[in-house]
Amino acid sequence: MNPLAIIRGGAPQGCTPHERYLLTRPAWAALATALASETATDLLSLWAEPGMVHAAFWVEGTLVIASCPAADGRYPALSPSRPGAVRFERMIRDLWGLSAEGGVDLRAWLDHGRWPITGPLSGRPTPNTSPPPQPEFLAVEGEGVHQIPVGPVHAGIIEPGHFRFHVQGETVARLEERLGYLHKGTLSLMLGKPARVAARFAARLSGDATVAHSWAYAMAVEAALAVTPPPRAVALRALMAELERIHNHLNDWGFVCNDASFAFPYARCGVLREGVLRAARTAFGHRLMMDRVVPGGVSADLATEGPDAIRAALAEVAIEIPRLLAIYEGHASLQDRVVGTGILSRELAVRFAAGGHVGRASARHFDARVTPGYAPYAGVTAPVLTEGDVDARVRIRVAELQESIRLVGTLLDALPEGELLLPLPQKSGEGVGMTESFRGECLHWVALDDGGLVRAVFPRDPSWLQWPLLEAAIEGNIVADFPLCNKSFNCSYSGVDL
């Protein structure tokens, strides 16, 4: 039987707009086996609640969720057939205390042994009294192999994480990431809160994608409560989301050039981005537009002077993109660093279901704005390349910049009038929401109890499926090219550390 048929054989649980099916343990095991013999079913997310494990799949152009009971603390692992499941399974063990039977990697992930309790979300946390263990890294054998430990405190102004390089001469034989340093207990803080209060945490999952995450969370809550946000709110959400995409793409384009010691584009991108952030502040009262998207609509209207400020800032960007692109393409010293560097194969991008520019630069065509698509987006062009190197990821971003500028213009020209925010009914429900952030799709699932409080939640940042691919992309490259590869991916640390 194919995986989708197995999932649909389960009992529907009433998740909207994409159904969640409760499988029996043997059916879940059969699903794990069926996944091994095909590649058409993408694992997008894997999470848990006390005594239950959930997995979200993308198959035949739709999202579907499967659940497996795990009351005895165990469930059959998906990682032997879907490598993207590895870190989720490690996270599930650390947070919910559920073990993936037959999992390919059973080491701790978020739990560094420094919390006062173990299994904080299991419902039965136990006190932790042992000293933090030394982390274990995968071994590399060979003549002249040595290790370079980097982080968690890095040299630049970036988030903390540990990178363990095994190198032979200048060449990276293996990179292993160790994250979790930013674990703030976000999920525990969301539980039991009213949906709108918990939105503050969705907005702070990863500050650079605050609009996209807030929107995905709001979408999930609205689906759970059968609330349709007003058209003006939907248009303003898209306006903010595209501004967010623009300022991040500008930032990373500049940083990639800067990491190749080519400072001019970095300086220009910095100026342009500052213009966009100031326009965002004029339009929405906050440079990063944090807490503007809330379940039920938006919390702030577009200021009267907003449209002009946005148009002016984006006009500057639009004029400069071709000039910067000419400079980017016209300097051999820069091209030498980005072309052919950090190649990610299509096979790996597909196996991990990598979204965003990481997937699209390696010929995996997925943009949540296109499929499944959501209002108000229509006719979005999502560029795809096949090279899979740093240059391809940069070019995808530059193309997206131009598309986003066009989208903002279209949105501003036809902003609907009307309400901004609807009240939320106090009732139970379960929903899922997916939006396309500048990194890839944000996938939020939420279950509300009878009082409208968050009973269970999992916000999945796109970086979950991109971080492991960075390890693959750097293999065989020189250590000095790591910053370029890293910045071309720009995965979120906070987004996956939760």
Partner 1 sequence: MSDSPINRLVWPRLARSLFGRPITDPPPAVSDEITAALVERLDHAAQRRLGRSLSIRQVDAGSCNGCELEINALNNVVYDLERFGLRFVASPRHADVLLVTGPVTRNMREALERTRACTPEPCWVVAVGDCAVDGGVFKGSYATLGGVGDVLPVDLVIPGCPPTPTQMLEGLLALLAANAPKQIAAGRKRPEA
Give the interface with partner 1 as residue ranges (CB under 8 A): 110, 112, 114-117, 120, 125, 152-153, 155-160, 180-186, 188-189, 200-201, 204-208, 210, 251, 267, 270-271, 273-274, 277, 281, 287-288, 290, 323, 327, 330, 492-494
Give the number of other Cβ atoms within 10 Å of residue 380's Cβ.
Answer: 17
Angle of the 306-330 helix axis to the 231-259 helix axis, nearest 10: 30
State the nearest-atom distance from the C-beta of 323 to partner 1, in Å: 8
Nearest residue (CB) to partner 1, 138 versus 271: 271
Helix-then-strand count for the chain, H and E: 16, 18
Nearest residue (CB) to partner 1, 271 versus 312: 271
Q: Give the burial class of 426: count Cβ atoms within 10 A of its Cβ; 0-12 exposed, 13-18 middle, 19 or more buried.
A: middle
134's CB contacts (< 8 A; 6+ apart) are: none
State the nearest-atom distance from the C-beta of 108 to partner 1, in Å: 11
Per the DSSP assignment, residues forming a β-bridge with 46 are: 55
Nearest residue (CB) to partner 1, 247 versus 364: 247
Element housing 394 (H / E): helix 390-413
Nearest residue (CB) to partner 1, 275 versus 429: 275
Give the number of other Cβ atoms within 10 Å of residue 348's Cβ.
Answer: 18
Nearest residue (CB) to partner 1, 25 versus 200: 200
- C-alpha span between 66 and 71 (Å, rounded): 16
State the nearest-atom distance from the C-beta of 111 to partner 1, in Å: 9
Nearest residue (CB) to partner 1, 58 versus 201: 201
Q: What 3-state class would DSSP assign to 4? A: helix
State the nearest-atom distance from the C-beta of 141 to partner 1, in Å: 29
- C-alpha span between 271 and 273 (Å, rounded): 5
State the nearest-atom distance from the C-beta of 493 to partner 1, in Å: 7
Show the DSSP H helices in 226-302 as ranges: 231-259, 263-284
Residue type, 483: P
Nearest residue (CB) to partner 1, 266 versus 366: 266
Q: What 3-state class would DSSP assign to 129? A: coil
Element housing 99 (H / E): strand 99-101
Residue type, 398: V
- C-alpha span between 202 and 214 (Å, rounded): 5
Nearest residue (CB) to partner 1, 20 versus 273: 273
State the nearest-atom distance from the C-beta of 344 to partner 1, in Å: 23
State the nearest-atom distance from the C-beta of 428 to partner 1, in Å: 25
State the nearest-atom distance from the C-beta of 127 to partner 1, in Å: 11
State the nearest-atom distance from the C-beta of 381 to partner 1, in Å: 27
- C-alpha span between 364 and 52 (Å, rounded): 31
Nearest residue (CB) to partner 1, 81 versus 118: 118
State the nearest-atom distance from the C-beta of 181 to partner 1, in Å: 5
Nearest residue (CB) to partner 1, 112 versus 311: 112
Nearest residue (CB) to partner 1, 212 versus 343: 212
State the nearest-atom distance from the C-beta of 91 to partner 1, in Å: 13
Of 1, 61, 64, 63, nearest to 32 by C-alpha is 1
Backbone angles phi, psi at 182, to 5 degrees: -95, 10
CB 411 within 8 A of CB 365: no
DSSP per-residue codes, 339-382: TTSS---HHHHHHTT--HHHHHTTT----TIIIII-TT--S---
- C-alpha span between 203 and 76 (Å, rounded): 33
Exposure string over 334-347, b if 16+ CB within 10 A, otherwise e: beebbeebbbbeee
